[in-house]
Amino acid sequence: MKRSKKKKTIYFIIKRIFDIIVSIIGLILTIPIYLIVRLCYIFTGDFSSVIYSHTRVGKDGKLFKLYKFRSMVKDADKRLKEMLKNDKELAKEWKENHKLENDPRITGIGKVIRKLSLDECPQFFNMLINDMSLVGPRPLIEGELDEHKGNHEIYESVKPGITGWWAANGRSCTSYEQRLKLEYYYCENCSIWLDIKCIIKTIGAVLCRKGAK
């Protein structure tokens, strides 16, 4: 049975208040992490910005800049184009999953922050300015959903999240088709209790480093 409009409104108001509180706390905790990551890169001779931004698709198809700690070399996008152009196997893998199992562009520091999921910390800023929520489907790049024949109406019906039902249930260990099914499930059934369950399962996945690559 579909939830009433009033219940949905109350849910999204509570969710937004929670996001604001969590994003402020998260940004405060992100400051020392930023300094550590910055110093680690400097010590390796890399003086480029440690904050990376990329255009993603949000709620109702709105485009926004997603922020992350840089886990790859500074010219990663340029290198990717060259790699996909020269390697058919890599191009096939990228087309299927939009990521590479053994991506040579990832730095030593990047491998560590990815394993610990610290690269996502700057997204607390995206939460604060209302582009994202703590829980929701992961934001995709333009055209990605179409390549996999995904449903825009369902996927873009809620704000994307730092974590979500897919992230809490295997993440990189699932196929793209399974990923979409998990994200659709959340979009169609999102609630306070499902959000709490996502958060608890995500904490467990991060501690066990399940699906983190």
Instruction: Print pLDDT tens along the chain (213 aa).
Output: 455 788 889 999 999 999 999 999 999 999 999 999 999 999 999 999 999 999 999 999 999 999 999 998 888 878 888 888 877 777 787 777 677 777 888 898 999 998 888 999 999 999 999 999 999 999 999 999 999 899 999 999 999 999 999 988 866 667 888 999 999 999 999 999 999 999 999 888 777 765 555
Dist. CA 50–CA 30, nearest whole Å: 13
- Residue 53 near residue 66 (C-beta atoms within 8 A): yes
Encoded amino acid at 5, one letter: K
Task: Catalogue the E-assigned strands of the chain.
Answer: 51-57, 63-69, 133-135, 161-163
Q: Which residues contact 177 (CB under 8 A, 6 or more apart)?
A: 148
Kindly report the backbone phi and psi dihedral angles of residue 163, in degrees, each rounded to the nearest multiple of 5, phi listed first: -130, 175
